[in-house]
Structure 1
Amino acid sequence: MSSPALGEFLRTRRARIHPATVGLTDYGRRRMVGLRREEVARLAGMSVDIYTRLERGLGADFPDSVLDAVARALRLDAPEREHLYLLVRPTDPAYAPAIRPGTRALLDSIATPAFVLGRHMEVLAWNALGAKVFGFAPDCNLARFTVLDPAAGIFYPDWEPVATQTAAYLRRQLSRHPRDRRLTALVDELTAENPVFHRLWSLPDIADPHGTRSIEHAALGRLEFAYETMDLLGDQDQTLVVYTAHPDSATADALRERELVGAH
């Protein structure tokens, strides 16, 4: 790894910090503004060699503990911390999910709402009923909708269990891809913006692949579904989600007889 941008970023960040502001004594005349490399290393609790290798872009990898320590030492805010991680570990270029024609055909053959989620809970594809019930749009991210959109609290009458399952899904993906910076940035965003989700994130829940879910549809009122989630083997981190209603239920009647409109 060799990154001039990484070195420049770290140099400008240590240059803006005066030693006295971080409790360091400024002895004698300094040839530079801000912190020296050895001072950053001391504040971060690591050897000068490790910090120097990081700033020079030498070495294939650095653990999260090193990057977190440097971020604290340089007093980086959340966007700067994320930028540091992206400079050290660019987003996985191998993750470029695409929906196979067979998966598309499967979705279209399902007579109930169905859709496919990607690694970051982005909605990759859906069938006609999925679009009508959920109101999916291009670039829809189900995690962001659930956690950050005020409409989600109305759309999901039992919002907290849905948010809990969202946390569990993302936690499972993080366990599989701990160095995916897009994924960790998404979790940082959700936990920072929603205190309730921050609490749910700390709970040791396991993603439930099936269950029941209530939806308050803008046109039809309350809809009651069972849902199933299935990993699509052979496709990168793709999960098929299918909602079903009992054939004799009011929800099934609504899906058959009423014209649905976008939910959000």
Structure 2
Amino acid sequence: MRIRAIGAAVTGALALSAFAVPAAQADGSQGDTKITKVVVDGDNKVGIGTSAAKTIKVSVTATDDSGIAGAMEFSLEGPDYGFLTTGKPTCTASSATTSTCTASVTVDPKTDYLSNASAGKWYVDAWIDANDDDYIWTEKAGSFNFQRAAKLTANASPEPVKKGKTITVTGKLTRANWETLKYTGYASQSVKLQFRKKSASTYTTVKTIKSNSTGNLSTTVTASVDGYYRYVFAGTTTTAAVNATGDLIDVQ
């Protein structure tokens, strides 16, 4: 079951949360059951764009001396009353005492009415049952960044260019606006300009600049050898990291 309360009225979000987890059992345990690891989407970062649905995978690893029997649906909670519930987890044992329970939930920006204010740090609430009737219920068992997807461009000119002449590298940093379902400029963000020689396989940072009030980027460098220029944005808690496609410059 999935429940959306992102940007919803307080009463509705609180009512849904209370229904999903009885308050009397919140953050409790019985016996020696422990949650040892929580991973969301592989790297604890989830980027959501403006059109494509995104399936979020949640994995919770737990131990008990009798082994793990199963888990209840995981709840994902974030800013602005953000609330998601996964499907029923499937638990796979890695030993007699340890299992990893995995479940997922799909978010569709076109139908789920995401609020931009919901971007940021989210938490995973998890209930795990052991074979001997032990259990653990933990709010904030793990955390992840629920992020607005970003786009980044780079264009180096003129091309071709003579060695020693000035190259201007322009670009734009934008991020998903979940409320308008469009990408808009991301202002005042630090972005790295990187370069790699045409014959090389790795990029080196040349300088760091900031996007302007509309997300535009522009800086100059001196032409030296053939190679690719690109911009790189490291991301923030609310916005996903992104690399621009490298633009080749022919130096004559």
- Same fold (TM > 0.5): no
- TM-score, scaled relative to structure 2: 0.30
More strand by share: 2
More helix by share: 1
**Higher relative contact order structure (alpha carbons within 8 Å, sequence separation ≥ 6):** 2
